[in-house]
Amino acid sequence: MFKQWKIQNPWLQLNENNKAICTVCTEACSRNLIVNIDSRCQKSKQAWVDEGFSNWKHGAERIKSHRESKLHLNSTEALANAENSNVAKSICAGHSKQMWSNRIALLKIFSTLRVIAKQGLPMRGHNDDNSNFLAILKARTEDVPELKSWLQRDGHKWIHHDIQNEILDLMANAVLSGIIDSIRAAEFISLLLDETADVSRTEQVSICLRIISDKLTASEFFIGFFSTPDTKAKTLFDLVAGVFAKHDLTLSKLRGQCYDGAANVSGKISGLQSRIREKEPRALFVHCTAHNLNLVVQDAIEKVSTAKKFIGIFKDLINFVRDSPKRLAQFKELQAVEESESERNLPNLSAYCPTR
């Protein structure tokens, strides 16, 4: 008879005393899933959990009564909720694993961009498939399965040009923040500034700051390139003041200024150096030594007709060879013979530069 009852009620089971118990209620009580048990539930618990049921004469009625009891229904619901909780926990664990995998892939993207930037290599090629960035990423997928899975996904991969630029900006800001901290810690600073036009003919100003450590070690830090509509003294002064204010630096620490000899920066009346000295008189101006040397060499050579003619002829010879592929090939053949005889590497033929 018990076997038949068990088929209809799978939760039935015999304990060590050969009495029937309810496995659902027993498990719920053992896991403390049932709270606020009233007197009626307490009797049901005593009969079907603690002691067991053995009144076989009225077994069918008592089993049906327990199946519909409050204890059994609450136990069934409590176990179902516990199972759902385990499912949610499993889903959460899977989500955490996916997040960790995505984090590894994203860190590899950051490190790849950092290496390319430090080496001074271009990020992009003629197309995305030939870019240095994607080529290195694909090579790293052989050792990083998380990165391989990331690049094979259909959603956002964080490798678009705009994302690359944004990541590089974040890295640059982090580096600049460390530099600014070192400059703020210094007692005195000096300003180095020069202006030039880039390949797009846009006027830009380069700003560097120089500090001396407690061990009397000099360090120069490049702050950045800044575009400007013109190179008037007032424009440059506003630019310098804006850079100092942006990085929370004060002009009262400034003790030196170094520019070329252009009137807009070196002028004693309204030049950049005089405008800065109105704010900080101790910021002495020093003419750039490299610019001084360049001017001295140019002026000296212009006074020597032989040297002036030699440079002109030398420039024409370089252009004569470089402008013809045939003559350039002959020059390289002669250079190869010279290298084999002298056993040293000779420099390539470079275009003439007047500042050299």
10 Å CB burial of residue 240 (0-12, 13-18, 19+) is buried
Tokens of 39: 């007197």
Q: How would you write the pLDDT of the chain (356 residues) with one tens digit per residue?
A: 666 777 777 877 888 888 888 888 888 888 777 656 677 777 778 777 888 878 777 778 888 888 888 888 888 888 777 766 555 555 566 677 788 888 899 999 999 999 999 999 888 877 777 888 989 999 999 999 889 888 888 878 888 888 999 999 999 999 999 999 999 999 999 999 998 877 677 788 999 999 988 888 899 999 999 988 888 999 999 999 999 999 999 999 999 999 988 889 988 888 999 999 999 999 999 988 888 888 888 888 778 888 778 878 888 888 888 888 888 888 888 887 776 666 566 667 777 765 54
3-state secondary structure the chain: CHHHHHHHCCCEEECCCCCEEEHHHHHHHHCCCCCCCCHHHHHHHHHHHHCCECCHHHHHHHHHHHHCCHHHHHHHHHHHHHHHHHHHHHHHHHHHHHHHHHHHHHHHHHHHHHHHHHHCCCCCCCCHHHCHHHHHHHHHCCCCHHHHHHHCCCCCCCCCHHHHHHHHHHHHHHHHHHHHHHHHHCCCEEEEEEEEECCCCCEEEEEEEEEECCCCCEEEEEEEEEECCCCCHHHHHHHHHHHHHHCCCCHHHEEEEEECCCHHHHCCCCCHHHHHHHHCCCCEEEECHHHHHHHHHHHHHHHCHHHHHHHHHHHHHHHHHHCCHHHHHHHHHHHHHHHHHHCCCCCCCCCCCCCC
Give whole-number Cα distances, 296 to 286, 289, 300, 309, in Å. 16, 10, 6, 18
Tokens of 83: 């199972």
Within 8 A by CB and 6+ apart from 259, the residues are: 192, 193, 194, 265, 266, 272, 273, 285, 287, 288
User: Can you give the pLDDT at residue 197?
Assistant: 76
The model's pLDDT over 291-331, given as tens digits with 9 standing for 90+, comes to: 888 888 888 877 888 877 887 888 888 888 888 888 888 88
CA max distance for the chain: 133
User: Can you give the pLDDT at residue 253?
Assistant: 92
Which of left, alpha, beta for 18 (phi over 0: left; psi -120 to 50: alpha)? left
Tokens of 104: 């590894």
User: Can you give the pLDDT at residue 174?
Assistant: 92
Which phi and psi angles does 259 have, rounded to 5°? -135, 180
Whole-structure pTM over 0.75, yes or no? no
User: Can you give the pLDDT at residue 356?
Assistant: 46
Strand partners, 286: 258
Mode of pairing for the β-strands spanning 189-197 and 20-22: unpaired
